[in-house]
Amino acid sequence: MSTQVHPLEPFFQQAVRNSYEGKLGLHDPEMTSYVAHLLCEFSQADKLYAVRDENGQPIEDLEAMLRASDPVNGTAPSFDAERSMRKHIGDYALFVGGMYPEAMVPGNRRRGPQPSLGDLIRAGKESYYIVSQFNLFEYEQEAPLFARLSDGFERCVLGLSLVREELNKRKALLPPIN
């Protein structure tokens, strides 16, 4: 059975590899592949806010996402749901921190108080760490990747900011659309 590759995957693989390996010296093909796949996933806007409230509405607030991921004091129905939500929070924090950090500037959103970029990074790092602790049975193979993502979270965010710079340079070279 063949899995279909996202049309942007080869492009993002190269862009992430150039930044992670070429500029940061981060030689981890599994991490590079994961981050490139993440960029493909989040190229679809509905994927960015995959954590939902009890009414099925997307949760856009980081603090609310964190509360929803808690199976003891929050609304996560199980520890598997916690893992899934925490994986998404880590992905969200990595993506926003690297590709769209201006979203974390206070007053840049229409709703309520906005966490700082530092808060976002802490939440992403912690979330990937929690995911890495699910290291048995079906999660055993993935756990080391999430441990590395947690340990190198800041470098991964920096690498994505370099991808963003490269994309902006390429965009500047394109002719204007009339």
First to last CA, the chain: 43
What is the signed CA dihedral for 146, 152, 153, 156, rounded to 10 degrees? -100
Q: What is the pLDDT of residues 29-79, one digit of tens each?
A: 999 999 999 999 998 888 888 888 878 888 889 999 999 999 988 888 899
Is this structure's pTM higher than 0.85?
yes
CB 19 within 8 A of CB 162: yes
**Predicted pLDDT of residue 55:** 86
Torsion-angle region of 112 (φ positive above 0: left; ψ -120 to 50: alpha; else: beta): left
**Predicted pLDDT of residue 158:** 97
**Predicted pLDDT of residue 52:** 81
Ranges under pLDDT 70 in the chain? 1-3, 105-113, 178
CB 126 within 8 A of CB 67: no
**Predicted pLDDT of residue 1:** 47
**Predicted pLDDT of residue 53:** 80
**Predicted pLDDT of residue 178:** 65
CB 65 within 8 A of CB 92: yes
Domains in the chain: boundaries: 9-168
| In the block, residue with structure tokens 């530092």 | 118
**Predicted pLDDT of residue 41:** 93
